[in-house]
Structures are given as C-alpha cells and as structure tokens.
Amino acid sequence: MSLVVQDVVKSFGAVRAVDALSFEAKPGKIFGLLGANGAGKTTTLRMILGIIDPDQGALTWQNRPLSRDVRRRIGYLPEERGLDDKMKVEDVLVYLGQLKGLPGRAARSSVRAWLERLGLSAVRQKKVKSLSKGNQQKVQFIAAVLHDPEIIIFDEPFSGFDPVNVELIREEMIRLKAEGKTILLSSHRMDQVETLVDELVLLRRGKVARRGTMRALKAAVPVKRYVLELDVDEDQAASGAESGGKVAWHSDLSKRLDRPGVRWVETEERLVFEVETETLAQKVLASALDLGHVRAFYRVEPTLHEIFVAAMREEEGIGVERNDA
C-alpha cells in the first residue's frame, strides 16, 4: 500500500539522470528525496507525476501502475510557483481544485477552509500578484492539498517563508502525515528535513549515495564527535604557558589529553574532539578525570547537513553546479 519506485532508469541522450533508483514511500510517513543539483531529484518527481516516462523500471501505488486516475490523487507543490498571478486567490484555487476532480461547491468550500486555516481569508479576493512571496507560497501549498490527495509531493515547500510561517507549514505537514498521507519531501533546508522525515535517500548522479532513517544514517557515520568540559584549577592547567594571568588554557588541556587517533576540533572555548571508536573516547575521558572534575562529556550527533555534505564530497567536482536533468 505504498508508492514504490523500482529499478527506474531515465536517460537524456548520453546522460543517465536516474540510474536504477529504488525506494518505497509509505502512507503516514514523510520520505525525503535529497541531492545536489543534477542528482536526479527533479527527473524522479516528473516521472512520478507522469510528465515524463521512465526508460526502464516501474512506478506503482498500492501495487498498481501510476495511471491517470491515480495521479489525480497526487498533490504537488512545485519548486517554481505555477499560479496565474492575474487571477484572484480564491478563483485560482477553486479552478485548480476542479481540475483535480472536485465539484465547484466542494472546491470552494475546501479553498475557504484552507484559506482560513493558513490565515489568508482576508486576501481571498485579491489578485495573486498582489501578495507577498510568503503568502503566494501559502496559496501554492493550498493548491497542492485542497483536493485531499493520498500522495503529496513537496518540492522546496519552505521557500519564501519567515520562521513563523516555516513552523506553520511544518505543523501542517505533520498533521497531513498523521492523517495517513504519503508525503515526498525534497528540500535544501536540511534543518527542517532532519526533523520531519522518517526515511530518506540521498541521490548523487542519479544513484543512491545514502539511504535509511535519520537514526541509521547518523549511526553509520564512522567519526564520532564528543564535547568535554572540565573544572580544572586554572593555574595548574596553564602551567608551562606564558605568564600574564588568564590565558586560553583549553589548548594546553588538549595537549595533555592528546593521543593517537584523536582529532581536536575545538580547543579555545571548549574541548571538542573526534575519534572513530567509543573505546578511544573513553580513554580520553579517563585521562580527563585525572586532571579534575568533568562537568560534561557527551557525544554530538552529526547533522543531516554534515551527512549530506560528506556524501556529496565523495563525488569529484561536486563544487561545479549542474542543471538538474
């Protein structure tokens, strides 16, 4: 009962934009589809939407091909806005709702409910072009969900939003997830993606570079980062350093605690180090306990941003921007 992409291939001339891609997006879950420019995200979304066909592979929903009828039950928020900005907000949304199969009265009722929900009732008779970028994005969001779709694709949904509206849309996405919607999320806002997705794939040149839950992806990072905070007598800690009172003595502490396999990331304001094994981290802690009272010792999990950058850097020339196929 999921949206399944199975061994999908799509080429444009000599360029293979999507290469044997497989994933499953489940109802009641948010699935992240991430990658750098040119990774194949847009091509994949266009195949799901039926804009282009795959060269090989299958795309199914509830074990059935993605027919025209099935695709009418997809909601899509594109990265680039696609509204007729000369139309009034309510009129354009009612029109789009009818295109998705809603009768006129039901479309208008849904539109007004969503406008009220997102704080846009006061602008329903205004032309789209008169709205701020953030409010235009809200209207685009409503266009994606007003027909109560079973599958919803959000491509850069937070574009143009201030922090308050980012949180508003985030809450709506969580609510839609709780209703059992199957949600695909593509965004460069890694901070938001990390808190929203249940599972994700990172694409690189059309292939999967990483996949899994956030917990699994973080656990797979080989280098572990730790923060160590100590209460140490400053005179003792700074012994051997330049005279002159208060000095940045964390660097001296790091030298005392150093050993092969430890990489010191920060030593000025606090002690932060990286190791590849828990055993080595515990040895650093044991040495620190000999120096004084340890106020804090904890592992800092890698962020999705760090995981993403590490995955993309494996590709030679990642700094060269390419157009997404």
Based on the domain organization, do 204 and 253 belong to the same domain? no
Based on the domain organization, do 128 and 161 belong to the same domain? yes
User: What is the tally of structural domains in the chain?
Assistant: 2
Locate 105 and state its tokens.
Answer: 């009265």
| Residue 318 included in any domain | no
Tell me which of 157, 187, 213 is where a domain ends.
213
Tell me which of 191, 213, 235 is where a domain ends.
213
| Residue 8 included in any domain | yes
pLDDT in tens, 83-119: 898 999 999 999 999 999 999 999 999 999 999 999 9
The whole-angstrom separation of Cα 73 and Cα 244 is: 72
| Residue 322 included in any domain | no
Residues spanned by the domain of 74: 3-213
> Residue 311 — very low, low, confident or very high, per pLDDT cuts 50/70/90?
confident
Based on the domain organization, do 207 and 270 belong to the same domain? no
> What mean pLDDT is predicted for residues 217-227?
88
Locate 81 and state its tokens.
Answer: 């806005």
Which residue(s) pair with 298 in the sheet? 227
Side-chain-side CA neighbours of residue 24 (13 Å): 7
> Residue 229 — very low, low, confident or very high, per pLDDT cuts 50/70/90?
confident
Based on the domain organization, do 290 and 243 belong to the same domain? yes
Locate 193 and state its tokens.
Answer: 């993606």
DSSP state of 128: G
How far from chain centre, in Å, is Cα 251? 36
pTM equals 0.82
> Under DSSP, is residue 323 helix (H, G, I), strand (E, B) or coil?
coil
